[in-house]
Structure 1
């Protein structure tokens, strides 16, 4: 049995880690291959996760969540990502949708949003548009003030939890002339007239996570659904993502850990030239490099999480960890496939899925190229 070296945890963190790992191993891992083929997850497993509070890890206790510190949240997100990264993304989407309201909403908005998700409803964060991607200033969705309402028109693309959410945080242009300073944030109820949901994207990886387009056609929402002030939407979105990138990266560390374990296990069983392939230095050194990258990635995530827990929100730290982890996760998974050879390229073994899942982390929550813009910009101030 491969032993994961994860030292320095408190007794409470160890207990939570063990509990979530057991859940992931028994309930998520055996279903992950089927979910990958079907492009969905099992509702009963999501309900189990909700009963454990895993959809509200980052939500404060006063709002009905677990109220975990960022380090502990990352420890648990890693365990879920180890079993299935798509399911980790699904659970993370609840807090991602709620966080903008927690950061900038009124007490009434926070209570309204919290009531939905603590009662079992799902949430989603709707920023990305098909033509915009990382270019938020190119947002085409508009919100026009009409009396005591805002009327939204436009669409969003690649929205996690898009077709399962009951409440959304949606970003739209209230003043195109101001660029990103003309973007505002809104709470949107799923049942609002004029709101519709597209089909689930047929993705390469994280396939159990529901990813959909959203459409707004003369959709009127009450003015009290405006989060913060007009023009603060981009700031709210960035403040949100600066807090969630490290959580997402922790799920990616789980992918790396799983790839290492699968490669080590196979290398001990597969024999060539009279001995297991792990006894050949070429393979042994590959395994060592995979472990080095995984341990380094875990420590980068934990460092970023500790800065967050110390109330230090440094975009550069989050960007560095997200970029390093996802880039190295892709390489670790490629190496795992190489260790398994032809079997690694087959769906009979899970490592090809791990690679497809890992690739998504180089794209979501700001591509790694955009992260390098952020990093270099901070370096060269």
Structure 2
């Protein structure tokens, strides 16, 4: 059993960490305040080869694995969860194409992202979040293709995307077996994107509503077989949840850094905060949870790269990282005391950013359902 990263993996982690310290962290507070994503960060990350690291070489990507994607994601999100998630979330939109796309679809749409395009994964609806099979957006069969009617909500990068991977019902009465996936270009007639939604945290990461009004999608833009969309979405989540878990790992690490620095500098009752056992134990617990979440995340990513089933490991990693990130952010605020509630210090932003990790990409409750289901199968 070998826990060492390869020299190449260590190098990409170091490069991503340096980039995060130099380009992401200094912009985090302003981007949060402005509620906007700094596109110059995207351009600089692209120039360094830090975006789309798991895209295949035939599409213009470096052909690295999910482990490398996780390493980059963790480093970026240590700098800012909003900016970092926006830089990495393309992987969620490209996975359905990598899994189910034709050679032509892969070469065109994965190559666009490799060159710097942003894309969006469009599944969630106003009345269907955790209940994936409950989506109601329709895809009506027409000669030569399908017509999409309906809307999506909380779609990451929607206002920046060149195309969407969209899930809709080709049969409303067939439950999860009636779902089908499509590639829908941004300039499709009848497709419109709402303004970015107001949010508690991750304000630098734009999320929007997307409206489909009689949007025609030709047959060659369908992903996989008709009715296979639900199975495709589940396969995507197995491969994308390690990345989302890395969002949490990066945030936990930042919480520990900020809390430890403050506890070392700040004095109370005649001694440093860190010399009070109650505070020291919080930091110790934070480090324990960081390493636990990190190991689960790396394991779930490693299984993807080995071509092995990782459903239970991916759900454990995501739930562990999300719950520990929320706990760590809360404890960081507690260590800072009254100053933790002030915008003068970054921990209030970490607290706001953390909460949604327990909600999107499958809530922590849904992850436990998945884990329990897999246990019963075993």
Counterpart check, 1:335 vs 2:331: yes
Counterpart check, 1:70 vs 2:63: no
- 2:92 maps to what in 1? 96
How far apart are the structure 2 equivalents of 1:93 and 1:193?
25
- Give 1:11 shift: 2.1
Counterpart check, 1:302 vs 2:274: no
- 2:207 maps to what in 1? 211
Q: Is the 8 A contact 1:243 1:313 kept in 2?
A: no
How far apart are the structure 1 equivalents of 2:5 and 2:144?
51
- 1:289 maps to what in 2? 285
Q: Deviations over 1:172-198 (max 9, x none)?
A: 110112111100000000001000001
Counterpart check, 1:365 vs 2:364: no
- 1:47 maps to what in 2? 43
- 1:351 maps to what in 2? 347
- Give 1:345 shift: 1.0
Q: Deviations over 1:261-284 (max 9, x none)?
A: 100100111111222111111111
Correspondence for 1:18 among 14, 36, 44: 14
- 2:125 maps to what in 1? 129
- 2:217 maps to what in 1? 221
TM-score, normalisation: structure 1: 0.96
- Give 1:154 shift: 0.2
- 2:177 maps to what in 1? 181
Tell me the SS of whatever aligns to 1:212: strand
How far apart are the structure 2 equivalents of 1:120 and 1:9?
27
Q: Deviations over 1:138-189 (max 9, x none)?
A: 2111011111121100000100111100011000110112111100000000
Q: Is the 8 A contact 2:73 2:85 kept in 1?
A: no
> How well do the aligned residues superpose, as a CA RMSD in angstroms?
1.2
- 1:267 maps to what in 2? 263
- 2:56 maps to what in 1? 60
How far apart are the structure 2 equivalents of 1:310 and 1:317?
13
Q: Is the 8 A contact 1:116 1:167 kept in 2?
A: no
Counterpart check, 1:161 vs 2:157: yes
- 2:317 maps to what in 1? 321
Q: Deviations over 1:74-99 (max 9, x none)?
A: 12211101001112221222121111
Correspondence for 2:103 among 102, 107, 116: 107
- 2:245 maps to what in 1? 249
- Give 1:349 shift: 0.7
How far apart are the structure 2 equivalents of 1:17 and 1:120?
21
Q: Is the 8 A contact 2:264 2:272 kept in 1?
A: yes
- Give 1:371 shift: 1.0
Comparing 338-347 with 302-311, greater Cα deviation is found at 302-311
Q: Is the 8 A contact 2:97 2:110 kept in 1?
A: no
How far apart are the structure 2 equivalents of 1:52 and 1:168?
25
Q: Is the 8 A contact 1:255 1:329 kept in 2?
A: yes
- 1:4 maps to what in 2? none
TM-score, normalisation: structure 2: 0.97
- 2:191 maps to what in 1? 195
How far apart are the structure 2 equivalents of 1:202 and 1:243?
29
- Give 1:72 shift: 2.2
How far apart are the structure 2 equivalents of 1:332 and 1:55?
28
